[in-house]
Chains A and B, each alone.
Chain A
């Protein structure tokens, strides 16, 4: 039998990995195994255009490149375990799939709240099936919606629910401001005001103690005893890495899959990780390994990891520099956009308005040791365009490794 690379996970990371293996010169077999029944599709519209009904579900499908026409797609079946030393993965139906190289691309799943109460009426947003179920409920007249978690998905879903005509939309979070973790106070305050002006209510500084209702949820009980009436609850309280199938291989799976600076896993040159699940050091910053749940990351990681893996399997020295992507992130809420370049989270201690003002279009810079590490724009096209002008400056920044905290 010829050489084969197995890709575990058939979403954006898995697709980009397959394409980039071909681009890196891999001519052997590629098998992509995916738990979902669908070919890879694009997730961001699930909380935005598609949830709002502005774009059809069919528009989500990625168009795979011609170079992956001969890839063997095993869809609707998960990988249940792996014996990395033996170079074998085991599928749900017991099939053992031997491999020469393995790409870990199994991504994340939503974290669930563990408090008491009925499950019916409670939703998460990660898959097509999730968004279909949520859309059916959000479009019922007079619906009252409680969103638990004021991160980016929670904020987007709240905005979409208002646009769909929900009677009440309330966002609950134990933190004092929406998206304050990634953005810091200045922008989070501006974001809160924009949402409130457009009809979203907030219960901030409050945790969820439980859910009311017999067969399905009718209310959300906060930890101060307040009850918010709810026909639909959306839980957007973060995500959990899909790594259980890698248990037993001696890997660091404490938060996703730890990789080295070439995206290799567990010191094995024939196993790499891509996308949301990869916890990688970024040579552009402080060398601390982090997972990055941004849409740009599956493509960036796949390009680098595929080169590293194919070079190893074909016995050439790729001479690859350490992986050092410039993270980019966007979020659409109501009619405004957040656009981020770089790593604002590393510079929350020194936040400066670079352009505009927080009441209107604004561009904010995040600094560490005096130098710019990230910019975030909030507003319309002008603000986003202004952010783009700082992108090249961020790309030119010297690495922060000198002051870095060793991993």
Chain B
């Protein structure tokens, strides 16, 4: 599974981190960091993260 976050849109809300902590995290400066190619077993979590992102900045590509 490929995950793309539009970093121009992302405003570091961190909602994705609660939904999918294995894929998204806030780094020490409070900026989003993420795994671009997570395991397919995490799909449900990543879909939830995409749903709850207030900026709708997360795209799942295949």
Contact = CB atoms under 8 A, between A and B. Distances in A.
Contacts of B51: 16, 299
A207 to B, nearest CB: 33
A301 to B, nearest CB: 12
A296 B52 contact: yes
Nearest to B17: A388
Interface in A369-406: 381-382, 384-385, 388, 391
Contact of B59 (A59, A63, A299, A382): A63
Interface in B15-61: 15, 17-18, 26, 30, 47, 51-52, 54, 56, 59
B47 A65 contact: yes
B56 A42 contact: yes
Interface residues of A, number: 21
B2 interface: no
A330 B59 CA distance: 22
Contacts of B11: 332
Given A65-B47, A330-B13, A388-B14, A381 B30 contact: yes
Given A59-B9, A299-B51, 13 more contacts: A44-B54, A55-B9, A62-B56, A295-B54, A296-B52, A299-B52, A330-B13, A381-B12, A381-B30, A382-B30, A384-B12, A384-B13, A384-B30
Interface of A: 16, 42, 44, 55, 59, 62-63, 65, 295-296, 299, 328, 330, 332, 339, 381-382, 384-385, 388, 391
10 contacts: A55-B9, A59-B9, A63-B56, A295-B54, A296-B52, A299-B52, A328-B15, A384-B12, A384-B13, A388-B17
Closest 10 pairs between A and B when the two form their complex, measured CB to CB: A381-B30, A299-B51, A385-B30, A388-B14, A42-B56, A381-B12, A299-B52, A295-B54, A44-B54, A62-B56
